[in-house]
Amino acid sequence: MTREFLDRIDERNPKLGAYTFVAREQALVAAHAIDALLRGGTDLGPLMGVPVAVKDLFYVDSMPTTAGSKADVADVVRAEGTFVRALKRSGAIILGKTWTSEFALGGINFVQRVPWNPCDETVHRTPGGSSGGSAVAMAAGLCAFAIGSDTGGSVRMPAALCGVFGHKFSSGAFPLDGIFPLSPTLDSIGTFTTSAEDAELVWDTLSGTTRVHDRSLRGLRLARPTQLFYDELDTEVSERVERALKNLAQAGAEIINVDIPEIDEFEHVFGRIVPIELIAILGRERVEQNLDRFDPVVRSRLGPGLDQKATEYIGARYRLAELRKTVAEQMEACDAWITPTTPLLPGPLEDYASLDAALAWNRRALRNTRPGNVFDQCGVSVPLRSNGAHLPVGLQISCAPSQDGRLLAIARAIEHALRAGH
């Protein structure tokens, strides 16, 4: 199985650019070892021998870790962390490293090649980011599941644009050691799979939790925020999300409108925290020395952070804690929030050829996902599959922190209802 995936990578990756490093020999050695364990009667569990793609923020022995940058950042992360060790203990076989935008800051880069979204074989459409390589690898069948990270939507948004299932873990689900950090305050791990059921299998195996009992949609309270999330959607996104909500209501779910005033503050808080934390991680001297080498998108977002006052950062952290507490209390009145994952369809990359266009796209593409990181929610993007639709659309489900099992059970029920509704 590993050899078949590697051959498929050899065939398709030159066009798609999902992988930046393929560990052919290392993966085959691991696969032979797994076969030997199985012959000897050792069963490591359901992920044993399953090939996985890992985003190039995660340190893996004998593989490069570049964080998508031309600058030397090898000193930032120097050893495998808790999550990669959990992958290896489960028997999963790491095929290689996947593309990330530089430092995972945004979804479009100019210095390095952006992967080709496999939803369209003729037009180079954006796959989203920053975990775009993992999303493309999953969508193109270049792995059995893929690993990414999510600081403002970097798993959920590319999952929606590439038409796969994306799960953003609760931020405290695993220690973040061994992973190049963008913002330790907002970072989380995530996975790409074909379905909620697969995501649940990966989650239960790696976290050591037990599957939550099946959830019925009847009586499930799904909150539809009245602010922001449903504003200025691409027409096809709006139509397919509304159709999905109608199907879920017919299946017994209760869709309730909720007012969330705290939504108005998420962008300010996010913008005060992320740049300054990345500067602290890289070190001011390295940032200043390499600013001209950084991607224009990264340069435009890091530059102002060099002049940011400590009081602004501390104030943002203080307000973040207040927002998280308030929103967590509000979520007790419902089972989950339900929104479009991103307001837009995957557009042609050539439409974002200027820096201003790329920055505007980044703000809009991540508008619906960033609140989940600010409010410390766990979340998924469920692909809205439609026989007549050409481009992917995602439906975002968000739950309170540390409710990943409950979230995935809800997502399973929603996927089942939506399939029955087509």
DSSP per residue, 315-340: HHHHHHHHHHHHHHHHGGGSSEEEEE
pLDDT band at 421 (very low <50, low <70, confident <90, very high): confident
Q: Active site residue: 69, 90, 101, 130, which one?
A: 130
The CA distance from 289 to 313, in Å, is 23
Beta strands 51-55; 145-149: pairing state = parallel
Sign of CA dihedral 159, 169, 130, 343: positive
> What count of other Cβ atoms lies within 10 Å of the Cβ of residue 361?
20
Q: Which domains are assigned to the chain?
A: 2-264+316-421 (3.90.1300.10), 265-315 (no CATH)
pLDDT one-digit tens code per residue, 148-206 = 999 999 999 999 999 999 999 999 999 999 999 999 999 999 999 999 999 999 999 99
The span from the CA of 34 to the CA of 3, in Å, is 13
State how far the alpha carbon of 359 is from the alpha carbons of 90, 106, 231, 297, 392, in Å.
Answer: 39, 8, 19, 7, 22
pLDDT for residue 407 is more than 60:
yes
231 CB-contact burial (10 Å; exposed 0-12 / middle 13-18 / buried 19+):
exposed
pLDDT above 70 for 260:
yes
How far is the C-alpha of 243 from the C-alpha of 385, rounded, in Å?
11
Q: Determine the pLDDT at residue 388.
A: 65
- Verify whether residue 154 is a known catalytic residue: yes
DSSP percent split of the chain into helix, strand, coil, nearest 5: 45, 15, 40
Q: How confident is the model at residue 422 (pLDDT cuts 50, 70, 90)?
A: low
For residue 97, pLDDT beyond 90: yes
- Give tens-digit pLDDT for 9-20: 999 999 999 999
171 is catalytic: no
> Biggest alpha carbon distance in the chain?
61
The confidence score (pLDDT) of residue 389 equals 67
d(CA 372, CA 156): 10
pLDDT band at 259 (very low <50, low <70, confident <90, very high): very high
Rounded Cα gap, residues 333 and 241, in angstroms: 23
Higher pLDDT, 388 or 223: 223
Separation between Cα atoms, residue 7 and residue 29, nearest integer Å: 16
Residue 262 neighbours by CB distance under 10 Å: 18
The tens digit of pLDDT for each residue in 125-157 reads 999 999 999 999 999 999 999 999 999 999 999
Q: What Cα–Cα distance (Å) separates residue 416 from each residue in 58, 147, 193, 214, 244? A: 33, 24, 16, 11, 12
Do 167 and 383 form a contact (C-beta atoms < 8 A)?
Answer: no
* CA separation for the pair 339, 392 (Å, rounded): 15
Whether 338 contacts 397, CB under 8 Å: yes
Percent of the chain at pLDDT > 90 equals 94
Decide: 165 and 66 in contact? Cβ < 8 Å.
Answer: no
Amino acid at 113: R
387 pLDDT more than 70: no
What's residue 211's pLDDT?
Answer: 82
**Residue labelled with tokens 């644009």:** 161
Strand partners, 149: 189
β-pairing, 165-168 with 93-98?
unpaired
Contact 63, 286 (CB under 8 A): no
Active-site residue, 55 included: yes
The catalytic position among 55, 134, 171, 398 is 55
Tally of CA atoms within 13 A in the half-sphere of 89 that contains its CB: 11
Backbone angles phi, psi at 394, to 5 degrees: -120, 150
Q: One-letter amino acid identity for 44?
A: L
End-to-end CA distance of the chain: 33
Q: Give residue-wise pLDDT tens across range 334-358.
A: 999 999 999 999 999 999 999 999 9
Strand 221-225 relative to strand 189-193: parallel, antiparallel, unpaired?
A: unpaired
For 44-67, the pLDDT digits (tens) are 999 999 999 999 999 999 999 999
Q: Which of 131, 154, 183, 381 is catalytic?
A: 154
Q: Can you give the pLDDT at residue 213?
A: 76
Give the range among 3-12, 101-110, 335-344, 365-374 with minimum mean pLDDT: 101-110
Q: Is 373 exposed, middle or buried (0-12, 13-18, 19+ CB in 10 A)?
A: buried
Mean model confidence pLDDT for the chain: 96
**Residue 233 backbone phi and psi in degrees, to 5:** -85, 145
> H or E segment at 5?
helix 2-16
What confidence category does residue 290 fall into, taking pLDDT thresholds of 50, 70 and 90?
very high
Q: Could you tell me if 149 and 101 are in contact, meaning their C-beta atoms sit under 8 angstroms apart? A: no
